[in-house]
Amino acid sequence: MNVYDSARMAEILAPLGYAPGDDPEDADMVILNTCHIREKASDKVYSELGRLRKIKDARAENGHQTVIAVAGCVAQAEGEEMLRRAPYVDIVLGPQTYHRLPEMVARAHRASAAGNRAGGVLETDFPVESKFDHFPPKRSETGVSAFLSIQEGCDKFCTFCVVPYTRGAEFSRPVAQIVAEAESLVAGGVRELTLLGQNVNAYHGLDDGGHEIGLGPLARRLAEIDGLARIRYTTSHPRDVDDDLIAAHGDLDALMPCLHLPVQSGSDRILEAMNRGHDVESYLRTIEKLRAARPDLAFSCDFIVGFPAESDTDFEATLDLIRKVEYAQAYSFKYSSRPGTPAANMALQVPEDVKDERLARLQALLMEQMNVFNETSLGTTFDVLFERLGRHEGQLVGRSPYNQAVHVTAPGYAVGDMASVFVETCKTHSLGGVLIEDGRPVPDPRAEERLSA
């Protein structure tokens, strides 16, 4: 979501003459877009700011001004404290105020011109107006695959999580606004959309008739857009998988057959302490229903190990759940205590070495499952959407329906094309294959050269 937000900030600043750059040493303004979800991410912000301060001072010696802005959830959580701790920061802005950025930049320039070093601009309220109503309607992004935020915020209040405090209450964008943004992306060459939301399947936006619709019907509407080949969405919550969404997975070719459905833990006791609002049985039932609608659906997941009071038995239950589901991919984290969340004050915090040991065992099992999943791709044929050029001449790199990177020698094809590919090789992070045309493999000229050599 921060990638999406950063792109939108760039778009809203374009009329002021700003364009994205590569090097902070040449930049008139640097925006750090920050994440507060775990302690490690947050800690990085101040060390990065220290580095930017040096650049700002060096540029000032040469007569150049540098505006430093901190956006995102650390900005939201720290607010005024950040301006105190790092007074060289000019702007601190929370995730729901990005549309006000041009005005904030003007204020920062005025403060600086007046020599007012204590004039840092702070915008961390949750405005009544939606930033999405103020972003430019046309997207300037180029590329084959793009993110599109359809929902933000969360009302679920899992006891470990900062999102409801930093991103605010759950909000769904209206259908027409999403469709218009999707159409402008597709007109610019985008062929794959990843719909984003902290709880993307809690989506309940208004359609043109003023009725609320869920993610399933929204996916159906987007699938009608000519030229849009693939739709993905993330992150879903197990409680919000409804029958409409399950049916959409069965009916829509454009809806890719992989689903990120975080469970966090395989122990009912821990799920309850986390306030997840579902148990293991209901999670497994949801997976079963989805697999019944779309048998080739693959699942990915998030796990937290070492939540307060997690016992060996609880942890073993998580491993059992993983063995039952058989994931294609997963992210896993050590529980990180976040200030202001209920779990931070819970008794029986788990020692770091126990978390380390559990994480290593969990990741070993998940890695095994990921390898098995990738190996099952061997000898199969699927569509690959080419995203970029490969390192060798004539080689393109694309994505399988399951989001695996696939390397193919495909002369005559271009980025943005889709081709049928037979998978021949499998490494940890990528697959290799040959083109299939008219039902037959197209020989790879490089392989032939190697053979004759």
Q: Which residues bind ligand SAH (CB under 6 A)?
A: 37-38, 160-161, 163, 198-199, 235, 237, 262, 264, 302, 304, 333, 335-336, 338
Q: Which is nearer to ligand SAH, 160 or 299 (CB)?
A: 160
**Does 77 interact with ligand SF4 (rule: CB under 6 A)?**
no
**Does 342 interact with ligand SF4 (rule: CB under 6 A)?**
no
Looking at residues 166 to 225 of the shown chain, list those that interact with ligand SF4 (rule: CB under 6 A).
198-199
Give 191's contacts (C-beta < 8 A, 6+ positions apart).
144, 145, 227, 228, 229, 230, 385, 416, 418
Considering only 25-33, 156-164, 383-391, 409-417, which stretch makes contact with ligand SF4 by CB under 6 A? 156-164
Pick what 336 binds: ligand SAH, ligand SF4, none; C-beta below 5 to 8 Å, kind-dependent.
Answer: ligand SAH
Burial (0-12, 13-18, 19+ Cβ within 10 Å), 197: buried
How would you classify the pairing of strands 405-409 and 430-437?
A: parallel
Site string for ligand SF4, 20-49 (x = CB under 6 A): ------------------------------
Site string for ligand SF4, 236-275 (x = CB under 6 A): -x--------------------------------------
Least Cα distance to 202 among 246, 240, 231 occurs for 240
Pick what 383 binds: ligand SAH, ligand SF4, none; C-beta below 5 to 8 Å, kind-dependent.
Answer: none
Q: How far is the CB of 260 from ligand SAH (least distance, A)?
A: 8
> Which one of residues 38, 156, 269, 285 is an interface residue with ligand SF4 (CB under 6 A)?
156
> Which one of residues 144, 158, 229, 259 is an interface residue with ligand SF4 (CB under 6 A)?
158
**Does 154 interact with ligand SF4 (rule: CB under 6 A)?**
yes
Q: In the complex, which residues of this chain contact ligand SF4 (CB under 6 A)?
A: 154, 156-158, 161, 163-164, 198-199, 237
